[in-house]
Amino acid sequence: MLKFTEIDRANPSKRGVMERIKDFREVYEVYEEDQAIDQAERCMQCGDPYCHTKCPLHNIIPAWLKQVANKDLELAFNISNETSPFPEILGRICPQDVLCEGDCSLNETHGAISIGSIETHITESGFTKGLKPKFNTNSTKGKVAVVGSGPAGMSVAYFLLREGVEVHMFERANKAGGLLTYGIPGFKLEKQRVQRRIDFMIDAGMKLTLNCEVGKDISFESLENDYDSVFIGIGATKGKFAGINGEDGNNVHLAMDFLTAVQKRELDEEVENFIDVKAKKVVVVGGGDTAMDCVRTSVREGASSVKCLYRRDEANMPGSKKEVVNSKEEGVEFVFNVSPVSIEASGINLQKTTLSEADESGRQRVSIIDGSDYLEEADVIIMALGFDQELPQFIKDSGVELDKWGGVIINLDTKQTSKNKVYCGGDAVRGADLAVTAAADGKAAAKAIVASLNI
């Protein structure tokens, strides 16, 4: 360990740009063993492991880094899969640069440990070598219904199954995985990774009912009656608009509609309202990870040009830095410091902005430069401005307490709602957030549910 002075940080290799934009397969290779060991050896094994503290799942990152370096893959696999429900997925899609790697003690001085890539390596190599998640299939402590099969639902199911709790998962879509399957493009996460995890759980006894929408195909009441607990992890799927004129035009689309459609097509599912961008000028409004997903998808869909419009400057972009780099490599053009004013058939009207001094929260405010209006020509305009929760009627009817904005009130530690048996977590509570925080919610809920079952 401690080899950070001798070995520089090296990210896993990426497929060549010209090759990768032709398909939806993952861009990053997985580390070879030697590479993973080298990179893990850089870790200082800090007395205060900031990476571990920052991680919403509190993954014991230094421990598995050390075990990778020690060539004890099995131990690394076990420790990694102890705290995380799907490390090989989160290793790929987490914005590590704002989480573990951002807090790595080496980040500022020597370059952070490439935690995410090593995390992916551990579990992928483990799977290759035949290692599997372990579930307790002997005891049945109780029965829990999980509504939604996204990261929160998968997480709660995983941790419940490990404790020997029977899980029944309900998903309204054709396939399980939620955002992981339909939201995140394949070049970041190939879909068989998600299915593999679902299959492990089905093997461990999880019942999965697809194409089943609670409140429509099955009543929530029956879940409450038939199960010891119910976990709701239905995500936040309602895309946000900018609130400007012309948004109702048919050249304007929401990011998730765009991404889901492409994803469904890739999965050979039937697609309604496919948004074709081929040979078109595409602009994407927003600067987060979803925006990156949209621009990169557009490139792959054969758009003639792709621009990303963002209100602030590059340094202030909320998404993962590596995705910005990847987008640029793939030919995306970034337009910073612009704010949308209105939309017309030929494109989007913008105003230039500037950043003023930081406010109390430390974030700089945006101010408009008067008279800087101009039209950005575009055929397709995609709004990637975040999501709101879209509480389905069955929750409103269920009697759980809601806050004044209509969100579900939960206990932050246990994810329990005002109804003892009902738990809720992930984006359904948080609004659009990260897969890893959804996973952490699922884990916390599972712990609380198990504790309640033990009584």
Min separation Cβ 164 and other proteins, Å: 9
Min separation Cβ 437 and other proteins, Å: 15
Min separation Cβ 157 and other proteins, Å: 14
Choices 56-64, 213-221, 298-306, 327-335; region in contact with other proteins by CB under 8 A: 56-64
Which two tokens mark 419?
A: 């109804």
Choices 64-72, 175-183, 218-226, 395-403; region in contact with other proteins by CB under 8 A: 64-72
> In Å, how far are 48, 251, 332, 443 from 328, measured between CA atoms?
36, 24, 5, 36
Rank residues 89 and 292 by Cβ distance to other proteins and give the closer one: 89
179, with CB counted inside 10 A (0-12, 13-18, 19+), is: buried
Q: How many CA atoms lie within 13 A of 94 on its CB side?
A: 31
Tell whether residue 123 is a contact of other proteins (CB under 8 A): no
How many residues at the interface with other proteins, by CB under 8 A? Answer: 34
Rank residues 309 and 446 by Cβ distance to other proteins and give the closer one: 446
CA–CA dist 228, 306 (Å, integer): 50
Q: Which of 420, 372, 385, 363 is nearest to 294 (CA)?
A: 385
Min separation Cβ 299 and other proteins, Å: 38
CA–CA dist 314, 172 (Å, integer): 38
Choices 49-57, 179-187, 399-407, 433-441; region in contact with other proteins by CB under 8 A: 49-57
Options 20, 121, 162, 280; binder of other proteins; rule CB under 8 A: 162
Options 9, 15, 110, 419; binder of other proteins; rule CB under 8 A: 110
Tell whether residue 50 is a contact of other proteins (CB under 8 A): yes
Rank residues 45 and 304 by Cβ distance to other proteins and give the closer one: 45
Tell whether residue 197 is a contact of other proteins (CB under 8 A): no
Rank residues 134 and 328 by Cβ distance to other proteins and give the closer one: 134
**If residue 365 lies in a helix (H) or strand (E), which one and from where to where?**
strand 364-368
Beta strand 238-239 pairing with 387-388: antiparallel
Identify residue 207 by its one-letter amino acid code.
K
315, with CB counted inside 10 A (0-12, 13-18, 19+), is: exposed
Rank residues 3 and 352 by Cβ distance to other proteins and give the closer one: 3
Tell whether residue 106 is a contact of other proteins (CB under 8 A): yes
Interaction residues for other proteins, span 17-46 (CB under 8 A) = 44-46
Choices 53-61, 216-224, 277-285, 301-309; region in contact with other proteins by CB under 8 A: 53-61
Options 66, 92, 121, 193; binder of other proteins; rule CB under 8 A: 66
Min separation Cβ 109 and other proteins, Å: 4
Options 12, 24, 30, 52; binder of other proteins; rule CB under 8 A: 52
Long-range contacts of 200-205 (CB under 8 A, 24+ apart): 200/132, 200/133, 200/135, 201/135, 201/154, 201/157, 201/158, 201/161, 201/167, 201/169, 204/133, 204/135, 204/137, 204/161, 205/135, 205/137, 205/161, 205/166, 205/167
Min separation Cβ 170 and other proteins, Å: 25
Q: Are the C-beta atoms of 126 and 439 separated by less than 8 Å? A: no
Which two tokens mark 207?
A: 């019942």
Residues 6+ apart with CB under 8 A from 108: none
CA–CA dist 308, 230 (Å, integer): 40
Options 27, 40, 60, 400; binder of other proteins; rule CB under 8 A: 60
Choices 69-77, 112-120, 275-283, 303-311; region in contact with other proteins by CB under 8 A: 69-77
Tell whether residue 341 is a contact of other proteins (CB under 8 A): no
DSSP string, 424-436: E-THHHHSS--HH
Per-residue contact flags (x/-) with other proteins for residues 406 to 425, judged by CB under 8 A: --------------------
Q: Which of 91, 92, 90, 114 is nearest to 102 (CA)?
A: 114
Min separation Cβ 78 and other proteins, Å: 4
Rank residues 100 and 348 by Cβ distance to other proteins and give the closer one: 100
In the numeric block, the tokens 């609130």 are attached to 243
Q: Are the C-beta atoms of 367 and 399 separated by less than 8 Å? A: no
Where along the sequence are the contacts to other proteins (CB under 8 A)? 2, 4-5, 44-50, 52-53, 58, 60, 63, 66, 71-72, 74-75, 78-79, 81-82, 105-106, 109-110, 133-136, 162-163
